[in-house]
Amino acid sequence: MLAVCVLLVAVVSQTAARYTANWTSLDGRPLPSWYDEAKVGIFVHWGVFSVPGFGSEWFWWHWQGQQPPDQKCVSFMSKNYRPGFSYPEFAPQFHAQFFNPEDWADIFKASGAKYVVLTAKHHEGFTNWGSPNSWNWNSVDTGPRRDLVGDLGEAVRNRSLHYGLYNSLYEWFHPLYLTDKRNGFKTQEFVMSKLLPELYNMVVRYRPDLIWSDGDWEAPDTYWNSTQFLAWLYNDSPVKDTIVTNDRWGAGCACKHGGYYNCEDKYTPGQLPKHKWEKCTSVDTLSWGYRRDMKMSELMDLPSIVEDLVRTVALGGNYLLNVGPTPDGMIPPLFEERLRGVGAWLEINGEAVYASKPWRVQTENTTVPVWYTSKGSSVYAIMTAKPPKLILQLLGPKTSATTKVTLLGNPKPLPWSPVLPNAGLTVLLPELPFSPGQAWTLKLDGVQ
């Protein structure tokens, strides 16, 4: 009886464990399992910046924030808009008149992604939902005049995808933020009056599965009150058991504190990191937001995306691929084509990706580049190039009498022979079928 009581106390104390507002405690929180199992997500950068659609989503800053201003942006405005035109005047042109969240969610589902992250608020401060703390600078009061965050969230979740929200901590031109900045961040008027009330409201209203924080680098986490917010998020929020966060919570936090690590945009580690991480990258190599003047040569092609995804997953990361919709609410057809291509590849090869774990060997290049993943007792060898001959040599796996090799998409066992006794194997490949991403996966059972 005493043992049962002790066990019950242990279980209750474990489930009731609370995190304190310091990094030692917060960093000890286990990452909810859905995130590592998902592997693939879609990032969506959409806002007022989509209207000028010039340069990047940083257009306002490059035009009127940085010193000296970017002359390309200055010239673009002087040639195309009347003198005195202000950036907020772009907002009424953010119509989103063709935005159909069901269509977007269908595309995201077809991409094979398991989660979607939308910009709820970028550095310009415009919220894609009716934030009471962003009067007349949100998608309900002006522009689309609808709740973009809520509408997309409902459609995404109806397709059993997880839904995350990107939120910039700082706002380039918010008067309260600029006052705090002038005060050396020793005051917190912006944080207390704008940022935190908005964040709490966003979490309670939309219950996101992920918060993708950004815009943190100008001030320390103590200015943003990050640890207090995260302690509430993990302890008392309506999403405390499922919420996932990244590492952008103050200057110096990246790659050090938070949930999973982004480290930096398009982060590509050279070896297997010890901490769960995510690579965010964009189909448009020059911008996250929509660009009206983008060229085909500036976009990632499908084989490059698949190779990037495979490398990321083999090194234990998640892959978050970005698209920038138009201001009228369309995902450009070339972006849609890339996403559907990724989905077609994952339809065949997803077994080697979803819920996989890094293997003891992550990569080799004996015949062609090969990246390894594992799941249960199976090992997967993903070729990111077509071998010149129908023979593939793998030196990493240790074979046994029960070793079996198959090509995903074809259940017929493939003939193989050892390279050395119990080490390495040479596989006789069939004529490889067309692959949307020019990558093929061998499933190896009975190897170590």
- In the chain, what are the domains? 23-352 (3.20.20.80), 357-445 (2.60.40.1180)
**Type of residue at 222:** T
Report the pLDDT value the prediction gives residue 81, as an integer from 0 to 100. 97
- Separation between Cα atoms, residue 350 and residue 313, nearest integer Å: 11
Reading the block at residue 173, the tokens are 């031109």
Does this model's pTM top 0.85? My answer is yes
- From the centroid of its chain, how far is CA 425? 36
Report the pLDDT value the prediction gives residue 16, as an integer from 0 to 100. 57
Report the pLDDT value the prediction gives residue 43, as an integer from 0 to 100. 98
Report the pLDDT value the prediction gives residue 421, as an integer from 0 to 100. 83
The pairing of strands 378-383 and 370-375 is antiparallel
Report the pLDDT value the prediction gives residue 422, as an integer from 0 to 100. 75
Report the pLDDT value the prediction gives residue 17, as an integer from 0 to 100. 80
- With helix as H, strand as E and coil as C, how does the chain read? CHHHHHHHHHHHHHHCCCCCCCHHHHCCCCCCHHHHHHCEEEEECCCHHHCCCCCCCCHHHHHHHCCCCCHHHHHHHHHHCCCCCCHHHHHHHCCCCCCCHHHHHHHHHHCCCCEEEEEEECCCCCECCCCCCCCCCECCCCCCCCCHHHHHHHHHHCCCCEEEEEEECCCCCCHHHHHHHHCCCCCCHHHHHHHHHHHHHHHHHHCCCEEEEECCCCCCHHHHCHHHHHHHHHHCCCCCCCCEECCCCCCCCCCCCCCCECCCCCCCCCCCCCCCEEEEEECECCCCCCCCCCCHHHECCHHHHHHHHHHHHHCCEEEEEEECCCCCCCCCHHHHHHHHHHHHHHHHHHHHCCCCEEEEEEEECCCCCEEEEEECCEEEEEECCCCCCCEEEECCCCCCCCCEEEECCECCCCCEEEEECCEEEEEECCCCCCCCCCCEEEEEECCC
- Separation between Cα atoms, residue 42 and residue 50, nearest integer Å: 18
Examine residue 436 and say whether the peptide bond preceding it is cis (omega within 30 degrees of 0): no
Low-confidence ranges of the chain (pLDDT < 70): 1-16
Are 138 and 86 in contact by the 8 Å Cβ rule? The answer is no
